[in-house]
Amino acid sequence: MVGAVEAEDDDAPLTSWAETGTTAARRRTPSATRAGRLDFIRLRGTRHSNGALPAWLAIPPLTEGRRPPAPRPPATTRQTGLRTSHSCPGSRGGKIPCCAVPFARRSPLVDRTARCPRRRGRCRDRRRRSLPLPVCRQGLLGRGDRAPQGGSGPHRRRTGAARPRAGVDDDGAERLREKADDLETRLAAANDQLTVVTAERESLASKAKQDQTSQRFFFGRKAREGFEALRQRLAADGFPQRLEELAGDHPKTLTEEARRILKDVESWAEQGGVEDATLLHTLALVDYSRGDAERARLRLRKAARTSTDSLLFENLGDLARLNGKMKTALENFKIAAKTAPETSPVHRKLGLALFDAKDFSAAVKPLLIALEQHKEDGSLHLLTARALLEAGDFQRATEVAQGASRKFPKDPLLPACAIIAYGKMKKFRDAQKTFEKAVEIDPKSPDVHIAHGFALLEEGKLPEAADSFRTALGCDGSRAESHYGLGLAANRNLAFDEALGHLKKAIALKPDYAEAWYAMKTTYEGLKKFEASVEAVNKAIALNPRLSV
């Protein structure tokens, strides 16, 4: 083991100075103790023969007839404040482990960061490696003792004599200078070559970039010229510009000449990196006509990033509407309507989308714009009148309904809207006259009787209103509005059980009937079912937030 000290004699060898885990007392054979000295000592692999031990390592002889002193019990870390519990053979007499000596008791020459030889530490002073590590690190050499074989550093007295340093001969220095000059020459040549190669590389890269740019410009110009020819060809063939006209069972197809031009345009546009909005828009319509709706959508979206063309956003909205994405379609219709002329059909599309979304106040303006362009469209008049009625503009609703009734005298739905508007404005006489004219047109129309019933409710004639709603049920038993009207009449008569039955039937026929849910609030409150009342009003507001106002 590293750092172990062994003693040999002719009769019996000196045993180890350290035992595992404890600080053991020195054990000596009789022949060694009587001699008072060791024949030789082996320290860290270096053998010194027949040398007297120094004062710091001397072993006092025992007197004849006296027993050796009993070994001391091993000291614990808690008793002595030591940092370890094992011993080292080079410590002070083996009583205190070298690596466990407290800092206050160590010599100033101790390397406090060194480890114990049992952990295979090494002396930092290369000239003192011949000494045992505990001796070197613990400073066990006295100030008057001389370190053997080249001691230096803190263990050697400074006498002022310095050892001569070994120099380098002239031939070796000359060779080193020649080699350095050669290396410098080669380095300069390499730097010059690197500069030339770098400049050549940059020149080639710049030339390649210019060539690539020239090619892109060339193919881009070819693509734009071909696109103009394609547009003329498509216009001559009657190819539509709106995507909704391409939908259906028999979409428009391309001619052979248009396909040939289209192939060249797509190739040139790809090589030239052309992403003009008009080019992408036209190619998207062609893709949709060929059945590739996804590619058409991607091209339309890419074109929409750099364009404000209303027709482009209109086609994008039509594509979303055909795919069932009404919210996306509504947003695109709104963008298109901002810049579209009043003659554009996008206003009609926007008004219908807002009406379906039950945003009646916002639907009024685009519907009125579309109505000016489509005065012969009876369904558009009816939707506009209903939007005005739901938005609370009763006067304008009656004007639109009465004006449309003169153009379409056989439609009973237009006077039905006027009846409800007159009832809201408390013009009950005008409501009664309009009802009589509507009955002459179609006495079996449930909408007319339902409208008359609501007008009578506004007037306060509850029995007549209930009769009118029952007549509507006789004409069409699947109308939820009839049960809703009967529920309102029963609520006003305080017949809450009857009202609850009618309102539940109305909700069963039309689950998203917000007004019926809101009427159930009053019914449940009359029945003292307040929890059910809160649930009903929350459901109504969720379906129609305007009811919370």
At residue 285, does pLDDT exceed 70? yes
Give 265's contacts (C-beta < 8 A, 6+ positions apart).
Answer: 223, 226, 227, 230, 279, 283
d(CA 518, CA 507): 11
At residue 21, does pLDDT exceed 50? no
d(CA 88, CA 17): 8
Report pLDDT for 101. 43
Summarize pLDDT for 88-145 with one digit per residue, the tens.
444 444 444 444 444 444 444 444 444 444 444 444 444 444 444 444 444 444 444 4
Domain boundaries, the chain: 1-142, 195-277
Give 537's contacts (C-beta < 8 A, 6+ positions apart).
Answer: 517, 518, 521
**What percent of the chain has a predicted confidence (pLDDT) above 90?**
51
In order, the DSSP letters of 342-395 are TTSTHHHHHHHHHHHTT-HHHHHHHHHHHHHH-TT-HHHHHHHHHHHHHHT-HH
| Distances, alpha carbon 53 to alpha carbons 2, 40, 145, 269, in Å | 20, 9, 12, 100
Top-confidence residue, 51 or 420 = 420
DSSP H helical ranges for 250-359: 256-272, 277-289, 293-304, 310-322, 326-339, 346-356
Report pLDDT for 213. 86
- Show the tokens assigned to 88: 């080292």
**CB of 90 closer than 8 Å to CB of 98:** yes
DSSP 8-state class, residue 512: T
Q: Helix, strand, or coil here: 21?
A: coil
Top-confidence residue, 10 or 237 = 237
The owner of tokens 């090589």 is 271
Top-confidence residue, 528 or 549 = 528
Report pLDDT for 123. 46
- Show the tokens assigned to 273: 């990196």
Q: Helix, strand, or coil here: 281?
A: helix
d(CA 289, CA 273): 24
**What percent of the chain has a predicted confidence (pLDDT) above 70?**
68
User: Of how many residues is the chain composed?
Assistant: 549
**CB of 468 closer than 8 Å to CB of 452:** yes
At residue 407, does pLDDT exceed 60? yes
Q: What is the mean pLDDT of the chain?
A: 77
Summarize pLDDT for 161-175 with one digit per residue, the tens.
444 444 546 788 888
- Show the tokens assigned to 348: 């009609």
**Average pLDDT of the segment spanning 196-212:** 89
Question: Can you state the angle between helices 378-391 and 346-356, rounded to 10 degrees?
Answer: 50
DSSP H helical ranges for 378-529: 378-391, 394-407, 413-424, 428-441, 446-459, 462-475, 480-492, 496-509, 514-526
At residue 317, does pLDDT exceed 80? yes
Report pLDDT for 78. 43
Top-confidence residue, 65 or 466 = 466
Question: Can you state the angle between helices 413-424 and 428-441, rounded to 10 degrees?
Answer: 170
At residue 431, does pLDDT exceed 70? yes
How close are the terminal C-alpha atoms of the chain, in Å? 95
Q: What one-letter code names the amino acid at 271?
A: Q
**Average pLDDT of the segment spanning 307-333:** 93
Buried b (16+ CB within 10 A) or exposed e, 279-295: bbbbbbbbbbbbeebee
At residue 325, φ and ψ (nearest 5 deg) are: -100, 80
The owner of tokens 């009876």 is 378
Top-confidence residue, 128 or 531 = 531
Q: Helix, strand, or coil here: 6?
A: strand
d(CA 45, CA 492): 117
